[in-house]
Structure 1
């Protein structure tokens, strides 16, 4: 299992943990069944003792769930792409229109693992047409997506969650540029990134070192996500986890106002495509 495939396993743990809480923000049957089958002791622990250490990831999941539900509600977008999908269960649990096509793109190893798991232990029926796509974001993933049936002529809802900071700054820019080039007018983008001050925050150093030791170093950040995305023609609404109403009563770090130097930040973004690509 590659280090980034392990990240998908960890996110499944977080989503299973949230799903098993009595005050859950969402319920992910794929994540619950995956952890129950692969780590039964952890499953019993999460079932009896909810872990606050996953609160930020649960809140992030809820934010992007809401973004995707909003984009689907109008009926104008019937094509969805999740980059670095891992064990994502949104094809099974969000209220998609039946003619929605959802492409799940990830490394070949991750796609194979999920395919084999679902073949044995499918916990729910898909609510849309799910299309797995095996591709590496640092290679020619647009070609593989197009080969799988994706149409760049149709408006698309993109989700780029929990992956950009694993890429170098140039690679992260390249991915956003490729997403833009593949996006028809009316497309939407959900995206997560961090700021560069995060890499210097004292309280983040142990975590960043742990990620390096495990072969999953964080590498990139953006200080002004609105301007960054505007350069590609996207109008962005940017939030931090502590801005969201669901953060009340959860272990979510509070951050000082925007513009305060030295503050580590996580950006949760939903954006609309307004212009033709104007890549910087």
Structure 2
């Protein structure tokens, strides 16, 4: 039985607290002598709740830092590769959380980077980073993305001001109901300026184990991952999106020496193929018409 007082709220009170958790994981990585990136702002943003969540969530299953670090590196690569291809003048980061990429990546100075998240999180981030200078032009918008009409108005406005836009939904869609993900896919497809969409996906075979793990920790059952479509990225083809790139979290963890699963030597060929698709980082491009 947990030592925490059952009358108290869960560690992850809402989805915003996962941002503090992710920030703490970036802070831990940044302090390693062989760090894959340096995020000097992460520890400040994580506050006290970030390390408390990590401590609770790793009970009985090992640290979650590696998985968050691997995801961060993979998305860094997907973003920078897409910007290098050209045609993108705007990045729209939906559910941006406490991401600090505009402050730590070598981004073009004329790039417009728009962060969208819940009002309380936006206010907290504005306060924490008030004196920091970003590499590009950063804007923040306070909005509950579950509010469909407000979301559509924002996306239409962003798209109308962009020559070409990249949409980032790191750590978002897995927490949404399938109906909301479907609506978002349609909303983005309806704005021609949105050319590329980056996301992370869980395999449906992994989802029950993730939910079980969360429910045995102190996360709060209302915040567990829930979206893991059959067919992975192919789910989005029906809405006008085609898969352009897909990074296996397990393989990327091996490459980076930040294991997020069993080592390859311990697995059969069949198990290797299964682990390759359990958790992926995906680039979708607007389908040619």
TM class by shorter-chain length? 0.7 to 0.9
- Within the candidate set 256, 270, 275, 2:271 is matched to 256
Equivalence for 2:282: 269
Three-state SS of the structure 1 residue aligned to 2:285 is strand
* Cα contact 1:55–1:251 (8 A) shared by 2: yes
Q: Which residue of 2 aligns with 1:235?
A: 242
Cα distance in 2 for residues equivalent to 1:211 and 1:25 = 29
Once the two structures are overlaid, the 10-residue window that deviates more, 153-162 or 104-113, is: 153-162
TM-score normalised to structure 1 length:
0.81
Q: CA deviation at 1:40?
A: 11
Residue 8 of structure 1, aligned match among 15, 19, 41: 19
SS at match of 2:288: coil
Separation of aligned partners in 2, 1:177 and 1:209: 35
RMSD, aligned CA: 3.1
Alignment partner of 1:130 out of 134, 138, 152 = 138
Please say which of residues 83-92 and 263-272 is displaced more in the overlay.
Answer: 263-272
Contact kept in structure 2, 1:190 and 1:271, CA below 8 Å: yes
Contact conserved, 1:211 with 1:218, CA < 8 A, in 2?
no
- Show the counterpart of 2:117: 106
Q: Deviations over 1:47-91 (max 9, x none)?
A: xxxx95300110001000111111222332110011111111011
Q: Does 1:75 align with 2:106?
A: no
Which residue number corresponds to residue 190 of structure 1?
Answer: 198
| Distance in 2, Cα, partners of 1:234 & 1:40 | 37
Q: CA deviation at 1:42?
A: 5.2
For structure 2, which runs of at least 5 residues remain unmatched after alignment? 1-11, 56-61, 263-269
Matched with 2:212 is: 205
- Counterpart in 1 of 2:265? none
What is the alpha-carbon distance in structure 2 between the residues aligned to residue 263 and residue 62 of structure 1? 17
Aligned residues: 261
> Is contact 1:159–1:191 with CA below 8 Å preserved after alignment?
yes
